[in-house]
Every structure is written in structure tokens, then in C-alpha cells.
Amino acid sequence: MVNCAKCNGQAALKRPKNGDALCRSCFFDAFEREIHATIVGNDLFVRGDSVAIGASGGKDSTVLAHVLNLLNERHDYGVKLVLLSIDEGITGYRDDSLEAVKRNKLEYGLPLEILTYKELYGWTMDEIVAKIGLKNNCTFCGVFRRQALDRGAWKLGVNKVATGHNADDIAETVLMNVLRGDIARLQRCTQIVTGQEGMLPRCKPLKYTYEKEIVMYAHFKKLDYFSTECIYSPNAYRGH
């Protein structure tokens, strides 16, 4: 038996971030305190903000919704939280993951807005792929999704969007931009807040949070999320 480094109880995991062996309770405490420190240290929110959480139904956005809802109450941020989901129209993937988002809406008592590619652009992602084939699908989808989040945020009347991008995502993006020689994106891809120059800033409260710890937090907390990979993502440059 390995003892917890904080309370000397039985450890449940070894943190990949710093190697500490922690029990579940001490891990939850450390995980939540670190995200709170990220929010406060980077002035991500101010009292009176209305924040849309980009909710896909996956582990990252589910943990983000859970933790932001928890910390907002615990530390009295004074922030109004809403869930914003985009339905790209990917049969057998997004339709199922949105069911998890709907259950999260009920569990956390947060409003939910769902926008579809079909209503916004007249095309579903399945229809786009049928037209162009299995190439550059994630490039098309990424552009449409970012614009859809903006439109959804304006519709909800929020002044900020929070996304579930984690430390692993950002590290991957840095590497991709180095390999592509994309200096412009390399300059901004590590920023914790983007879009300040416009009217709708986007922030990443999980910027310093490792993906493995997000998975362990969701597992230990028994959070309800959807874990199937998008059927088009194996063709993405990020996956390669």
C-alpha cells in the first residue's frame, strides 16, 4: 500500500504532473485548487460575467462544467454559467454525445443552448464529407465550429466563452504549428485568453491541467460524459 503524500491515507493515484501519490479526496482538493488558482491568477472572470461553457459531452468540457459550477459556488465568483453545444451533424457521434450534455444540464441546473450546422450553414458535417470526401474534414469543421460558438454566445447574450482545452491540447498545438512553420498561430496558441481584441474573449481554465488528471478526476467523480472519438478525427493532422 502506498500512502497519500498529504493525509497519509491510502493513495489512489500518482499525479503525472508532479509525481505525488494522493488519495481521492486530496487529489480532488489539489485539482480544484489549481484550477481556481488559474482562474484567479489570470483574471479570467469578474463578478457579473455571463460565461458560456463550450459543452461537447466529452471528458474535458464535462469536467470544466462540473468544476466551474463547483468553484463558482464555493468561491462566490458571481458568474452566470450556461452550457453551449454545437451539433455538427455527425451521425453516431454528436447525436449521442449531446445526450450526455442534456443530462449534465439537469444535474448542474444550468441552461443549455444547442445550435446546429444545418440551421447555421445549411449543411451538416456528414453532408460536407459526402461532398468533399475524407480530406481536410477537421479543418472545415474547426472553422465552422468556432463561428458557431460565437453565434451561440451572441444569441445567449454572454460576454465570455470558456473552453475545455487542456495542457496536452496546447502542447500538441505548439508542435503542430512548429511543424507547419505557422509563426502567427505559434504566437497566440498558448494564450490563456484569446479574442480580447474583439467583443467576445475565450478563456481556457484547464490550460495547466493534464489530460490524464482530467480523466482520473472524471472517473473518480463518476461524471457522466461521452468518450467515443469522432469518426472523422483519425484523418486529422493532429491525430497524425
Q: Which residues pair with 21 in a beta bridge?
A: 14
Give me the helices (H) in 109-198, please: 117-121, 125-132, 137-156, 167-180, 183-188
86 labeled part of a ligand binding site: yes
DSSP string covering 27-77: HHHHHHHHHHHHHHHTT---TT-EEEEE--SSHHHHHHHHHHHHHHHHTT-
39 labeled part of a ligand binding site: no
Helix (H/G/I), strand (E/B), else coil: 122: coil
183 labeled part of a ligand binding site: no
126 labeled part of a ligand binding site: no
54 labeled part of a ligand binding site: yes
119 within 8 A of 142, measured Cβ to Cβ: no
**Who contacts 187 (Cβ-Cβ below 8 Å, separation ≥6)?**
none
> If you ran DSSP here, which 8-state letter would residue 25 be given?
H
The span from the CA of 86 to the CA of 94, in Å, is: 9
CA 174 to chain centre: 18
Sequence ranges of the binding site? 54-56, 60, 86, 164, 169
Sequence ranges of the binding site for ATP? 54-56, 60, 86, 164, 169
